[in-house]
Amino acid sequence: MTPPPRGTQAARRAPVLDAPTTLTFGKALTAGLRAAMAADDKVVLAGEDVGTLGGVFRITEGLLDEFGADRVRDTPLGESGIVGTAIGMAMRGWRPVLEIQFDGFVFPAFNQITTQLAHIHSRSGGRLPMPVVVRIPFQGGIGAIEHHSESVESYFVHTPGLKVVSPSTPHDAYWMIQQAVAADDPVIFLEPKRRYHVKGEVDPAAPPRGLFESAVVRPGSDVTVVSYGSTLTTCREAADAAAAEGTDIEVIDLRTLSPLDLGPVEASVRKTGRLVVVHEAPQTLGLGAEVAARIQERCFWSLEAPVLRVTGFDVPYPPSKVERHQLPDLDRILDAVDRSLDY
């Protein structure tokens, strides 16, 4: 990619928040990264084009000008090398934050992440913390070409030693990236691409929710719907549509995929008796399977219907012109809600 003129970069400083502000999801991430770098001079950014260009989605824009090339490092095209270098830096006391340009590009680094990054803290008996954040834009819905729209969460959720989180609002993006940077375990930080340009209020003074806590984002009494990332917005739209027909849906944002925080989900299911899990990833061995199994184990006597899943299909991610058929939409979610209520 051809970077924009330096003058353009210098004019776009990272946001500095001192009062509630309306920001896009992407700019909230930038502000959160800036706050984390200002708070700890051991925080460094690395990745392909994160410096002069400001990242493929401009999430690191302005940070090179403020913090310099020693802390915002453009790297060669080599995801395995980026992660491997970060592991060494973490061993020497640094807190690297890495950018993988697209979800489908993380697989060359899969070996480093799952066999080294995930294991070292535990393997060393806690003597070697691994404070590495791997930022990955994920999920589809932007009309991109092959390898640019994947749902990679299950690979990393299945790897003990990794924490996996995904914010869905600008406020959470601002706070969760700072919390991830401060964590001593490696964090896979999944950024839903469809949310980058969505605006919302960010309050820098509001006490943040814990990084590993899920949240009820819309109370309801008839059916519980659980999701995360991009599809959370679709679930909220489905809840609004169902309310017009007299069905009261409670929507829960998981936020943390590993560890899973199912406390609010269990409390909700004991109230509604019904659960629908929604995600873009393929259904087989997706996160919905784990949520369904645990809720069945813990809330069996409260369930009035089987736990249902609305997911992507078990096929390679389709071409952009037909990707809408892969993504859970409002009609598929409402159909699952109706089927649950019909039991």
Specify the 3-state DSSP secondary structure of 227: strand
What are the respective helix, strand and coil percentages of the chain, to the nearest 5? 40, 20, 40
d(CA 138, CA 324): 16
Alpha-carbon torsion angle 330, 331, 336, 341, nearest 10: 100
Angle at 86 between CA 82 and CA 92, to 5 degrees: 155
Is residue 158 among the annotated active site residues?
A: no
By CB atoms closer than 10 A (0-12, 13-18, 19+), residue 21 is middle
Which residues touch 326 (CB under 8 Å, ≥6 apart)?
140, 280, 312, 313, 315, 317, 318
Determine which one of 119, 121, 147, 148 is catalytic: 148
Ranges of H-type helices in the chain: 6-10, 25-39, 63-67, 79-91, 110-112, 120-123, 153-157, 170-182, 231-243, 263-272, 287-299, 330-342
Q: In the block, which residue shows the tokens 């209020």?
A: 201
Under a CB-based contact definition with an 8 Å cutoff, are residues 323 and 141 in contact? yes
Under a CB-based contact definition with an 8 Å cutoff, are residues 289 and 238 in contact? no
- Among residues 62, 13, 15, 14, which one has the least CA distance to residue 204? 15
Instruction: Specify the DSSP class assigned to residue 327.
Output: S
How many beta carbons lie within 10 A of that of residue 293, not counting itself? 11
d(CA 130, CA 183): 9
**Residue type for 147, please?**
H
Which residues touch 28 (CB under 8 Å, ≥6 apart)?
170, 171, 173, 174, 200, 202
- What are the catalytic residues? 148
